[in-house]
Structure 1
Amino acid sequence: MNNIRLGTQVRDTITGFEGVAIARTTWLHGCARVTIQPKELRNGIPIESQVFDELQLEKVRKKSVSASDGRTGGPQDDAKALSR
């Protein structure tokens, strides 16, 4: 198992499709699939994300995308919001 971490820059070894791992799905019998979102645009429009078997992905030696700080941007306690 490759254990691709979300936010990692990866490439599909079969098609050459490259982008950032944005989701990982594990199916009932252990099949792991990873959704890849490319950083490029095609005709000014973002390229649609694609899903690949985790085992056919390789990590690209580039800096990973950092994860969010956990804040969702939704309703919040004003006192806590002011202390940030």
Structure 2
Amino acid sequence: MPKLGATYYDLITGFEGVAIGYVQYITGCNQVLLAPRAIDGAMKESQWIDEQRLTVNEDVAVIAIDNGRAAGFDRAPPRR
């Protein structure tokens, strides 16, 4: 399982980004959501990439976000 907050590189496309999400499928085709760094202030779109295509970039520090002050989404879920 990849480490969220670490930077990964796609061996096929060269796409690089910080792992911000991970999903496991029953079929075993697990994927990692990579968010690339902004270039000149322009945000790039995140991409889901198969886990086996990725290699970690050890030269970039792992990002950690403190969620201690925020419990998450601040609205109640919809009721049916």
Describe how 1:24-35 pairs up with structure 2 within 5 A: 24-35=22-33
Q: Which residue pairs with 1:59 in the alignment?
A: 56
**TM-score, normalization by structure 2:** 0.77
Give the 3 Å change call, closer, same or farther, for CA 71–31 of structure 1 in structure 2. Answer: farther
Q: Which residue pairs with 1:9 in the alignment?
A: 7
Which structure carries more strand by proportion?
1
Give the 3 Å change call, closer, same or farther, for CA 73–27 of structure 1 in structure 2. Answer: closer
* Number of equivalenced pairs: 72
Q: Which residue pairs with 1:40 in the alignment?
A: 38
- Percent identity of paired positions between Structure 1 and Structure 2: 36
Query: Moved runs in structure 1, 4+ residues, more than 2 A?
Result: 67-71
Amino acid at match of 2:66: S
Deviation at 1:70, TM superposition (A): 3.3
Which structure carries more helix by proportion?
1
Deviation at 1:45, TM superposition (A): 2.1
**TM-score, normalization by structure 1:** 0.74
Q: Which runs of 5+ in 2 are unaligned?
A: 75-80
The CA deviation string for residues 19-72 of structure 1, in whole angstroms up to 9 with x for no partner, is 100000111222210000001226x32000001000000000111101324332
